[in-house]
Amino acid sequence: MIPFVSGVLSIIYGANFADFQDAVFFITITSRVALVEFIEDVKNIVGYQMLVERFRQIRHGIAIDTSHGNVSEGRIKKWTTLIQMARDQTRILAESQKSRELFFVLRCIVFVTLFLFILLNLPYNVHPVVFVFHIVWGIFSFMQLARLLLKTWMAETITSEESKIEKDIICIDTSRWDSSSSLQLKAAHDLIAQNPTQISYGYVTFNKGVLKSVFNQVVTYLIVIMQLVEK
């Protein structure tokens, strides 16, 4: 992002052709990185959406079976197997994205912290270049948070769809079932209730609390940096 800002400012305020060439180079390189990030985000979101659809299909299948009375111990075991397969797919997806998403969250914290630090310590009216820098850096920081919010929302949707299956299982009338089928249904319910599916990357879990955690870290680092500068 810094090369991009430098390139834009060089084009606006540059005085010679060499500066213009360097500026175009910086913008091109940064744009390429941004395009790669965009493609990776699309790939991740598509993966999340596929998992959402997977849980929806399982829920729909359970609803059809129960409405038609096609329920047995073997059928419930198939439900449990399908649920476990979807959970395994979620875990595999999270593992494949782990390093990249952890680095992304770290970038969010760093970029927002630096933006607030610059905003508080470098007045925008000092020079037009500084004003442009504030705007561009602020937009970029906001975009990082927007990306994080979107991913968090999609991850929460996966958890929500699985919880709907749990609620449907609770509502099933088992009064006329044999004990083995009832126990198998309870096992399917406990599988979800005791350990809900989440998009977890080890240190970070994409849920409603992740933005709060990011802002807590931003405030902490900002205070530390401000204290170091004042010394």
Render pLDDT for 68-84 as a digit per residue (tens, 0 to 9). Answer: 887 888 888 999 999 99
Q: Are 168 and 145 in contact (CB under 8 A)?
A: no
Render pLDDT for 31-69 as a digit per residue (tens, 0 to 9). Answer: 566 677 888 888 888 999 999 999 999 999 999 988 888
Render pLDDT for 160-219 as a digit per residue (tens, 0 to 9). Answer: 999 999 999 988 888 788 888 888 888 889 989 999 999 998 888 898 889 899 999 999
Q: Domain residues of the chain, as ranges?
A: 2-230
> Residue 31: its pLDDT value, please?
57
Q: Which residues contact 190 (CB under 8 A, 6 or more apart)?
A: none
Tell me the whole-structure pTM to 2 decimals. 0.80
Q: Which residues contact 53 (CB under 8 A, 6 or more apart)?
A: none
State the DSSP H helix or E strand holding residue 31, giving kind and residue range, or none if neither. helix 17-67
* Mean per-residue pLDDT over the chain, rounded: 82
Render pLDDT for 82-94 as a digit per residue (tens, 0 to 9). Answer: 999 999 999 999 9
C-alpha span between 54 and 51 (Å, rounded): 5
Amino acid 221 reads Y
